[in-house]
Structure 1
C-alpha cells in the first residue's frame, strides 16, 4: 500500500546528502557573498548559536534560522539606496536578507516519518534541517561567523521538497491510478502566479522574484495577451554574480531574460546596462561591474530582444508531444498542458531541477502553475485510497 512508502524515515532521504555549510547570523552580507563564491552549493544556511549558558558552559544551542543564496543578495542590492552604494550595502548584517516568512525552514529528527515531513510541507515548510552522523568525532563549536559546519558537535544536512518528491517517484506504482490522472482532473493547477510583462522594467519584478524564491517557483514573463514567453527564475539568478543587480535595475524584463541566459550576457546588453548606470549616476554599481572580467559576447540572433513569435527559442515541444525546455537556456519556461498526467509533470520538474511547472494552452496562454507542494497534497490525500 502507499502508506508503506510514507512510513519511511527522513533519514532514508539523507543518504548521500552533504553536510551543510553554515554562516552565523552575526556575519555581514559581504561575508555571505564571499562564502557563496567559495562554496560548491548555491546556498548557505544561517545559524544562531547561543554560547551564553551559565549552567552548562560547554553547551551550545544551535538553530538554523534560514537559507540564503545569491538571489537574496541581488534583490537587496536592487533597492534604490543600495544601487548607489553597493559597497556599503554589503556591510549590512546578513539578518536583513533572511526570509521574513516563519516556518519555511524546520528542524526535524532523523526518525521522523516521511508522512510527518509531507504534513509540515503542506503547512508551509520548504526545507528540513536534519542531523547526520558527523565525520569527525571531535566536538567543535563555532568560533567565527564563517566557522566549521558542526553545531554542538553535530553535522546537519538539508532536505528539500524536491528530495521528497524524488523519493516518492521511486514508489509511484503504489499510488496507482492517481499518477496517471491529469493535473486538471486532480484540481491542482494553481492560478495565483507571479508574472511580469515582457516590456515592463525588470526592477518592477524584484518583489515577485523575492516571493518566488520563498515559494520555490518563478516569475512568468508574458506578452500583452497573457501568453507565456519565458521566465525570470531564481534558479538562474542564483548562478549569476552580484552585478546582475545592475541589469535588473536598468533593463526590461524581456532583456533581462537574455542577459541571464547561459553563456554570458550579450555584449550589446552589457554596454546598455553600463550606459544607463552612467545616466543615473550609479557610479558605485558601475565600479562593481568594472571589477569583473569582461563578459563573453553572444550573437544577437541567439538572444532575441523582441517578444514576437515567443514559441521560437523560448518554449519548445519534445518529440513525444509534451512541452519542455532545453537545460542550457534557463529562461525558457518548463511547461505542460492541463491534460498532462501527474507523473509526467513530476518527471519534468525533477529532470529540470525546478519545483514547479507552468501550465499553458496550445496557443501558449498561461493557465497557471503546478508546484511540488500541490503534488504532495495529492499523495497525502490519497494515501489510504491506493
Structure 2
C-alpha cells in the first residue's frame, strides 16, 4: 500500500498551486528585489531561454523557456554584505541577477507532471529544493500522459509552471502517514536521520562571521544555531526568516553581533532607539556610508507609508497569505507582521527543538506546523547535538520502495521490525 502511494503522480501535489512569476537571468538585482516585494513570496524563479514567455511564443514552437534557479532576499542580503558591494550599493544593485544565483545547478529541477512521487523524492535526496512542474489544463493533460517521465523534459504544451518544495512533499506524506505505519513511530535517532554536521555561531560573535554559514544554510535548507559558551541553543539565524526581511538587514549583519542580530529581527522596529543607534554608530565607524543610507531611507519610507497603507489597496502581505491555500488564516500559519521586515514572514529567531527519542511523526508535525526547514535536536540541558531537515525525513520514505536505500532498522520488538520489512 505504501509503495503504491509513492507511485502517485506529482501532479496530484500541484492542485491549487499558483503559477511562478518568471524573472529573466539578465534582470538587475534591484528589479528582482522589487519583484520579490510585489509577489509577497519568499523566492522568485529565474529563467533563461525564450525571451517571450507567452502563448504566442509557445504556438510558434519556441518553448525553450527554462528555470535555471531561484533567488530570495537571503541571496540579496549576503550579496550586499560583501565588502566590495557594501561600499557601492548602486553598482551592486544594477548587477544582473545571474550573479547572485547559487553556484549549484541542482537546486531547481524540471519534472514531468506524470512523474511519480518517488521520483520527486529521489530528486530531493540528490539536492533539489524546488521541482518545476508544468501546470496542466484540459487540453494538455492527456498529451502529457502519453510521454515518458523525464526530469529534463519541459515541453508539455503548457505556458505556466508551478513548483513543489520539500515542505509540500512532506505535507502530502503526512496527510497519509497511516499508510506507512509503524514507521512514523520510530525515533529519529533509531532511523539515523539526525545530521550532526551543524553550523553554529556564538551569541557574542560578529554576525558577519556567520555569513558563510548563512549562505550554506540557504543552499542546504537548514539554519545556523546561535549558542552560548556551554553549547546550549539560544536561537537561530534562519534563511526562511531572512527571506522575508528587507535588504536593509544587511546593515544589521555588517554591524551587530549574532545575538543582537536576532534581537534586531525579532524587534523589527525602528523605534527601538538602542539598536538603531548601535547599528548607525558601527556603520559610521566602518565607513559603510552606503549601508547606513540604505537603512535610513527604508526607515523613512516605512514611517511615511505606515499611516496610509492600512487604507490603501490590498497589501503584498495579504496577497502572499491568500496563496497559502492550506491555511485558513495568518494565525494558523504562525505569521507575524513586522514593520522593518515590511512583509509577512513565517517565524522569528526562536529555534524549534526536539530530542533524539522524538518520533518521526512528531518531528514532521512540528516542522510543518511552524514552517521550519529544520528542527534542532537537543539534549535535556538544551545543548544542541544535531538537526533534522525535510531531506532526512523524506529519505526514510524513499527507503521503503528502494531496499538498498533503507535506513538502518531500529532496535525494538520483533513485531515492529517485521512490520517494517513487509
Pairwise same-fold verdict (TM > 0.5): yes
Match of 1:94 among 89, 92, 97: 97
1:147-179 CA deviation, whole Å, 9 max, x = no partner? xxx998510001001000100011111111110
Hey, what's the Cα distance between the residues in 2 that align with 1:116 and 1:340?
28
TM-score scaled by length of structure 1 = 0.84
In the alignment, what sits opposite 1:287? 293
1:213 and 2:231 correspond = no
Q: Rate the CA distance shift 1:86–1:334 in 2: closer, same or farther, 3 A.
A: same
Hey, what's the Cα distance between the residues in 2 that align with 1:2 and 1:28?
46
1:299-332 CA deviation, whole Å, 9 max, x = no partner? xxxxxxxxxxxxxxxxxxxxxxxxxxx8656101
Hey, what's the Cα distance between the residues in 1 that align with 2:179 and 2:61?
48
In the alignment, what sits opposite 2:167? 162
Q: Rate the CA distance shift 1:251–1:167 in 2: closer, same or farther, 3 A.
A: same
Q: RMSD over aligned Cα, in angstroms?
A: 2.3
Match of 2:355 among 337, 340, 349: 337
Larger mean CA deviation between 151-160 and 6-15 belongs to 151-160
1:3-26 CA deviation, whole Å, 9 max, x = no partner? 121111000000011000110001
Q: Rate the CA distance shift 1:259–1:152 in 2: closer, same or farther, 3 A.
A: farther
Aligned residue runs from structure 1 range 144-163, under 5 A: 154-163=159-168
SS at the partner of 2:77?
A: helix
Note if contact 1:62-1:152 (Cα within 8 Å) is conserved in structure 2. Answer: no
- Name the count of aligned residue pairs: 342
TM-score scaled by length of structure 2 = 0.77
Hey, what's the Cα distance between the residues in 1 that align with 2:181 and 2:60?
54
Note if contact 1:231-1:332 (Cα within 8 Å) is conserved in structure 2. Answer: yes
Q: Which has the higher helix share?
A: 2
Hey, what's the Cα distance between the residues in 1 that align with 2:294 and 2:157?
39
Note if contact 2:3-2:400 (Cα within 8 Å) is conserved in structure 1. Answer: no
In the alignment, what sits opposite 2:273? 267
SS at the partner of 2:70?
A: strand
Note if contact 1:231-1:333 (Cα within 8 Å) is conserved in structure 2. Answer: yes
Alpha-carbon offset, residue 264 of structure 1:
2.9
Match of 1:74 among 74, 77, 82: 77
1:153-207 CA deviation, whole Å, 9 max, x = no partner? 5100010010001000111111111101111111111111111111110011111
| TM superposition outliers: structure 1 runs of 4+ over 6 Å | 134-137
Larger mean CA deviation between 281-290 and 245-254 belongs to 281-290
Q: Rate the CA distance shift 1:355–1:272 in 2: closer, same or farther, 3 A.
A: same
In the alignment, what sits opposite 1:301? none
SS at the partner of 1:382?
A: helix
Q: Rate the CA distance shift 1:279–1:151 in 2: closer, same or farther, 3 A.
A: farther
1:363 and 2:369 correspond = no
Alpha-carbon offset, residue 225 of structure 1:
1.6
Hey, what's the Cα distance between the residues in 1 that align with 2:156 and 2:25?
14
1:126-163 CA deviation, whole Å, 9 max, x = no partner? 110000036999xxxxxxxxxxxx99851000100100
Hey, what's the Cα distance between the residues in 2 that align with 1:169 and 1:369?
19
Note if contact 1:42-1:238 (Cα within 8 Å) is conserved in structure 2. Answer: yes
1:23 and 2:59 correspond = no
1:45 and 2:45 correspond = yes
The answer for unaligned runs of 5 or more in structure 1 is 138-149, 297-325
SS at the partner of 2:299?
A: coil
In the alignment, what sits opposite 2:314? none
In the alignment, what sits opposite 1:180? 185
Note if contact 1:202-1:253 (Cα within 8 Å) is conserved in structure 2. Answer: yes
1:285-308 CA deviation, whole Å, 9 max, x = no partner? 111111123579xxxxxxxxxxxx
1:24-72 CA deviation, whole Å, 9 max, x = no partner? 00101011011111112121000002459xxx97514111000101110
The answer for unaligned runs of 5 or more in structure 2 is 53-58, 141-154, 304-333, 337-346, 404-420
